[in-house]
Homo-oligomer: A and B are copies of this chain.
Amino acid sequence: MTRPSKPEGQTFIEEARRKQIIDAALQTIAEQGYTQTSFAEIAKGLGITKGLIAYHFNGKHDLITSAIHTILNRQGAYIKSHVDGKEIASEKLQAYIGSSFEYIEQNRSHFVALVDLWGSFTSAEEKEAFSRAAYDPCRAHLKKILTVGKNQHEFAKLNEQTMATVIQGAIDGVMLQWVFDPEAVDLKDASRELSEMFVKRVKK
């Protein structure tokens, strides 16, 4: 359970293989669903054997955890690069929401997989760990933006924890509907709507 991802001293090939396998896993999960995704299935799509996957990861749990972190880190980096370019807090908030949806739209399969992966957590502890890995950084980032805005006298005084929760929640909830049926949701409209509404809501 608490085994490390894999011991230190990774070679280049080691790292490259892990990345390759994670990407293949993500694609397979998005295409076939988590329950249908076996080591054998991932290996087939990669032209390697399932034994090799077992060699590079400490079990399925390690692979899944790594895959989730990969998605989350990539999206986080994408958002950060857009938010950091802005000076004004309201623009930062708009950038956060806008770039979140941009990344989602450009990487649909990642989020299809992510929604599937939620079901792979068996215990309350794992769920909580996921929460810390996935939501804590997001809410922290949002809270920082809100605090900056307040300090710059642009934003009103508000419950930042709750506001961060609902902003992130709205993004995720819209994404979720789009994952289940992309036809049913206009991602750009929703992005614009949320952006406008939340900026108006937090401004003085």
Contact = CB atoms under 8 A, between A and B. Distances in A.
Interface of A: 32-36, 112, 115-123, 127-128, 130-132, 134-136, 139, 159, 161-163, 165-166, 168-177, 179-181, 184-186, 189-190, 193-194, 197, 200-201
A120 B35 contact: yes
Contact of A120 (B33, B121, B136, B185): B33
Contacts of A132: 181
- Name A's interface SS: helix
A173 B180 contact: no
Given A35-B119, A181-B132, A186 B173 contact: no
A18 B159 CA distance: 45
A186 B139 CA distance: 13
16 contacts: A33-B119, A127-B181, A128-B180, A131-B177, A134-B180, A139-B184, A162-B189, A165-B186, A166-B173, A166-B190, A169-B169, A169-B170, A169-B174, A169-B175, A170-B170, A170-B173
Contacts of A193: 159, 162-163, 166
Contact of A190 (B122, B136, B169, B185): B169
Given A119-B120, A168-B173, A177-B131, A186 B161 contact: yes
A189 B163 CA distance: 9
A182 to B, nearest CB: 9
Contacts of A186: 161-162, 165
A172 B176 CA distance: 9
